[in-house]
Amino acid sequence: MKEKRQFNKKRKFSKPKSTARFKISGETNIDFKNLPLIQRFLNDRGKIVPRRISGVSAKEQRLLSRAIKHARFLALLPSGGVNK
């Protein structure tokens, strides 16, 4: 009989516990005019921070991305592309 391989079940990376950021801070108004809030979810190049890093829920991430794109369209925020 063939022997089964034994795999190491330890994971190299553990997922950090996500926190509901908007419930902790008390801010629930995700709007394109609220620039200080929106800028916390952009990196230094102007790209949207992924949900797994920012720790927001899926619904909040959709609202955030929609607000960021709206603010970019109105030129309130820089675009996310890299200038060459």
Q: What's the whole-number mean pLDDT along residues 76-84? A: 72
The CATH number that domain 21-73 falls under is 4.10.640.10
What integer pLDDT is reported at residue 18 of this predicted model? Answer: 57
Residue 64 is which amino acid? L
pLDDT by residue (tens digit) across 10-56? 666 666 655 666 666 666 689 999 999 999 999 998 999 999 999 89
Strands (E) in 1-84, as ranges, are none
Break the chain into its structural domains and give their ranges. Answer: 21-73
Does position 84 have pLDDT exceeding 60, yes or no? no
CA distance 34 to 1: 66
In this structure, what token pair is assigned to residue 47? 């790209």
In this structure, what token pair is assigned to residue 24? 């902790």
